A and B are shown apart, each in its own frame.
Chain A
Amino acid sequence: MWQVFSENWEFFLLGTYPRGPIGGLAMTLIIAVVSLAITFPFAIGVALLRGSKSVWVRRACEAYTTLIRGCPLLMLLLWIYFFLPQLLGFPLSPFTTLVIAIVFFQTAYLSEVIRGGIEALHKGQTEAALALGLKRWMIIWKIILPQALYNVIPGILNQFTSVIKETSLAYVIALGEVTYSASQVNGILMTRPMEVYMVLAALYFVLCFSLTQIAGLLDRRIARNRSAVR
């Protein structure tokens, strides 16, 4: 297993870069970061709109999250890969396709995480601010949201690990991130699939395990800070 990695580590980590396009684990991280960065504002939007005064806005957001929760990501990806270009009239790169799929998917999940953070805040916060005469959106923007986001940092990190795992679906649309790279290495070596895929699993494990450990650490620290404040 070590031999497979040491002989192909550049391909696992970077793809053909710098001679060709970047791939491997680097690409995995790029997809994950870009997807999460785009997801973030959408998720905040949906989370806030779920507290909207209008029943219809609330219902629409709820319908969206419920629908997405009911769909396998693979199916969503296939819809976007095959159908969206037809609808738009121009082709999409595999990269764009995967990012769109993850953004659609994760907006639903991340908005739930953020909404949880908002709902966990003390009601008194809003009332105290209202009593100070602050406008409603000001309260949300300046007081509620910063606290809520701070409290759900661990949740967001955990969601980031989910995104990293989800990028493995790039394999299905032949986008060259680490899972696809591994399958290429396997195709070249032919006879050592177990080693190749254990290397792949190990790479994901190191990355995701570190992230979840950091999330757990932050979670305990934030919980401690919060109980110290009260």
Chain B
Amino acid sequence: MPALDFSAIFTEHYRWLLITGLAMTLLLFVLCWVGAMAVGILLTIVRMVPFRPLELLVWAYVEYQRNVPLLVHLFVWYFGIPQLLPYSANDFINSHNSELIFAVIAIALYQAAYISEDLRSGIRTLPKVQFEAARAMGFTFLGSLRWIILPQAMRNSLPPLVNQTLLLFKATSLAAVIGVAELTYQARLIENETYRIFESFSVITVAYLAGTMPLIWLGSRLSRNNASRTR
């Protein structure tokens, strides 16, 4: 094993690769998180509509997402979907960083399934009379959701949502496999050019841990808080 030399991977060129990689990881993370949350909340609301076929549809969606590896979802989107799109659409996507677009769609849809499950169980633990009490006071249907039900459901689901955020952050690394130039991708590139395996992987490990450790800390704090607050 060669002696450690971090300066070899901190030349101006590689520094630039790492910085853009970090930026891409953060961009992926933010886009996926927003997308996953939006779709997750939407699925939760659709599930509350008392219409059996809709319920079944959401159930099938959630099961499909959860029982197929994320990597396969990425392949379906990145390799498969363009087969179904017309040329013009493919042209458009290809000229707009198709890797990033498909990675965001695949990861967001995957995590959304988990998020909707967490939100659903957060709502299910609420007694139905909370809703009635709100309606009896004169809150509208949406007002009751907005001011009484959702805040409580959110509080119940906060620890699992933080955990999903953690998993989503880690999941962004898989985008490297379809060629999104994020941290993991850049580390492999640098390792490949410099043979500085330890150095390049150390850097991204530190980067990932810097993102995940606060989330782990927050998650355990929240679940401890919720457990100690007796109802």
A residues bordering B, Cβ < 8 Å?
A: 66-67, 69-75, 78-79, 82-83, 86-87, 161, 164-166, 168-169, 171-172, 179, 182-183, 186, 191-194, 196-198, 200-201, 204-205, 207-209, 212
Contacts and interface: CB of A to CB of B under 8 A. Distances in A.
22 contacts: A66-B213, A69-B166, A69-B212, A71-B170, A72-B170, A74-B184, A75-B184, A75-B205, A78-B201, A79-B201, A82-B191, A161-B67, A165-B68, A168-B72, A179-B69, A186-B79, A194-B83, A197-B76, A201-B72, A201-B73, A204-B69, A209-B67
B75 interface: yes
B1 interface: yes
Interface in B149-174: 166, 170-171, 173-174
B42 to A, nearest CB: 22
Q: Is the interface of A mostly helix, strand, loop or mixed?
A: helix
B71 interface: yes
A176 to B, nearest CB: 15
A145 B87 CA distance: 60
B208 interface: yes
A58 B1 CA distance: 33
Q: Is the interface of B mostly helix, strand, loop or mixed?
A: helix
A71 B202 CA distance: 12
Interface of B: 1, 63-64, 66-73, 75-76, 79-84, 166, 170-171, 173-174, 176-177, 184, 187-188, 191, 197-198, 201, 204-205, 208-209, 212-213, 216
Nearest to B214: A70
